[in-house]
Amino acid sequence: MNISHLTLDSHTLFNSQRPSFSFLRHTPRNVVVCSAKPVAPPSPPPKLTTAQSSDGRIGSLSQVSGVLGCQWGDEGKGKLVDILAQHFEIVARCQGGANAGHTIYNSEGKKFALHLVPSGILNEDTLCVIGNGVVVHLPGLFKEIDNLESNGVSCKGRILISDRAHLLFDFHQEVDGLREAELAKSFIGTTKRGIGPCYASKANRNGIRVSDLRHMDTFPQKLDVLLSDAASRFKDFKYGPEMLKEEVEKYKRFAERLEPFIADTVHVMNDAITQKKKILVEGGQATMLDIDFGTYPFVTSSSPSAGGICTGLGIAPRIVGDLIGVVKAYTTRVGSGPFPTEILGSGGDLLRFAGQEFGTTTGRPRRCGWLDIVALKYSCQINGFSSLNLTKLDVLSDLDEIKLGVSYKHADGTPIKSFPSDLRLLEQLEVEYETLPGWKSDISKIRNYSDLPNVARQYVERIEELVGVPIHYIGVGPGRDALIFK
């Protein structure tokens, strides 16, 4: 096909005349291709209704369960959290900030883009907790709450914010941009939402916490220290007495509005655990962006892997039970950094538009590639996932064939046993692929696993076989009901 004449918009790509993806068969960079081992078509399992499957799966989850990203973020965690929240009394965010954008839909199909408020907010009986590990930008939070309220979603008495959470100021965002400009060609590719600079203030021990808003007698001095530090570091950051005065007055108003939301959430969470209430933890970003385990330095500034649950909420490790890893049926990432299975050129472009791969928070186009099994196995090892949620399987419906990046090799053919920390090695390694057939049919209306085409089930089960973790949830569209329980 001649893709130069193709209009890449969501209407074209999601109606019955979806363009063919046959040209995605080209080999990505640094590739060694092999065929998948022959797999007999799987026998259909006993057919269960969606209600039967969901009740069994969700009902068996532990008292404290978590939903975490497996890749570089944007996997679709918010949708699963929204669905599971109907069976949990508390949904809690443990880390990150407004750079974590989760898109969910209510029962009428209305779209909500959430950034700080946990994705359980659409379920009216759910208490939403923003834990101490989150950095909170109050103007953004209030805008989010106002938008929810104006669309009929009550937030009063349903959101608690940790008094230990750090405040993210507008100047942190300005510093974020100045820092990126300073790095020039080696920039990180942040969202410029001030997340890194705010966590840096926290680590420097001159950050300002939510509880400091209760002490306006000392707040101006603390803010002056922060602003003066930024001014001394960046010559283009302009700071003077008038700026401090304006910020203090603004935060006096914020403090009054925020007071009903502030709580000792460490006590709230542990008291809820004692009362046997069910708690669902919602992770932001994902394991491959973890400050310790991700592709450093092209990472976020918090711990979006399992360890961040305990440090970000103040709950004991022994309390945490089932963890569900969310993974796309392919791989995406935003910003800079190595991406071994990336599809370059027009193939990546078309996959991007078919999956609407643009950031919820920034609108940035995401880089797209084949599912990276090596990175997925690494993520599963770090987090100890009990099950996986495979999202956006429907996006692959028009492909003639699909590739799985199953292993890495050095340029000389020597196998690489695990996901390497060395970025130079990540950029130079070769990926060995397995090629599986596509199914060339729309699966977005399917709700039972046994109704999927045989080759689609073959793809799902091959991932399970390679990773060693069962896939219990399969996303086949953006809507709340577009989920298969396996």
271 flagged as catalytic = no
202 flagged as catalytic = yes
Q: Is 403 annotated as a binding residue?
A: no
C-alpha span between 263 and 393 (Å, rounded): 40
The angle subtended at Cα 428 by Cα 424 and Cα 432, nearest 5°, is 135
Q: Is 475 annotated as a binding residue?
A: yes
C-alpha span between 281 and 308 (Å, rounded): 10
238 flagged as catalytic = no
Tell me which of 82, 102, 172, 192 is the catalytic residue. Answer: 102
Q: Is 364 annotated as a binding residue?
A: yes
C-alpha pair distances (Å), 220 with each of 226, 255, 452: 10, 13, 61
Tokens 């669905």 sit on residue: 83
Q: Is 103 annotated as a binding residue?
A: yes
Q: Is 165 annotated as a binding residue?
A: no
CB contact set of 112 (below 8 Å; sequence gap of 6+): 103, 104, 105, 106, 122, 147, 148, 151, 153
Q: Is 363 annotated as a binding residue?
A: yes
Q: Is 190 annotated as a binding residue?
A: no
Tell me which of 74, 82, 176, 372 is the catalytic residue. Answer: 74
Q: Is 393 annotated as a binding residue?
A: yes
C-alpha span between 389 and 401 (Å, rounded): 22
CB contact set of 183 (below 8 Å; sequence gap of 6+): none
C-alpha pair distances (Å), 461 with each of 42, 435, 442, 444, 471: 9, 14, 19, 19, 8
Tell me which of 202, 278, 328, 472 is the catalytic residue. Answer: 202
Count the Cβ atoms, other than its own, within 10 Å of residue 186.
10
Q: Is 74 annotated as a binding residue?
A: yes
C-alpha span between 460 and 456 (Å, rounded): 6
Q: Is 314 annotated as a binding residue?
A: no
C-alpha pair distances (Å), 348 with each of 5, 169, 332, 378, 401: 17, 36, 10, 24, 15
Kindly compute the dihedral angle of the four CA atoms of residues 436, 440, 445, 450, in this order, to the nearest 10 degrees. -40
Q: Looking at this protein, which amino acid is placed at residue 455?
A: V
What's the token pair of residue 359? Answer: 């950031």
Q: Is 331 annotated as a binding residue?
A: no
Count the Cβ atoms, other than its own, within 10 Å of residue 364.
14
C-alpha span between 214 and 231 (Å, rounded): 26
Q: Is 341 annotated as a binding residue?
A: no
Beta strands in 200-307 (DSSP E): 262-263, 279-282
Q: Is 476 annotated as a binding residue?
A: yes
CA 43, chain centre distance (Å): 33
C-alpha span between 320 and 279 (Å, rounded): 10
Q: Is 318 annotated as a binding residue?
A: no
Q: Is 392 annotated as a binding residue?
A: yes
297 prior amide bond cis, ω within 30: yes
Q: Is 193 annotated as a binding residue?
A: no
Q: Is 77 annotated as a binding residue?
A: yes
Q: Is 189 annotated as a binding residue?
A: no
Closest of 365, 336, 361 to residue 188, by C-alpha: 336
Q: Is 49 annotated as a binding residue?
A: no
**Residues annotated as binding site for substrate?**
360-366
- Point out the residues that are catalytic: 74, 102, 202
**Residues annotated as binding site for Mg(2+)?**
74, 101
**Residues annotated as binding site for IMP?**
74-77, 99-102, 191, 205, 285, 300, 364
**Residues annotated as binding site for GTP?**
73-79, 101-103, 366, 392-394, 475-477
**Residues annotated as binding site?**
73-79, 99-103, 191, 205, 285, 300, 360-366, 392-394, 475-477
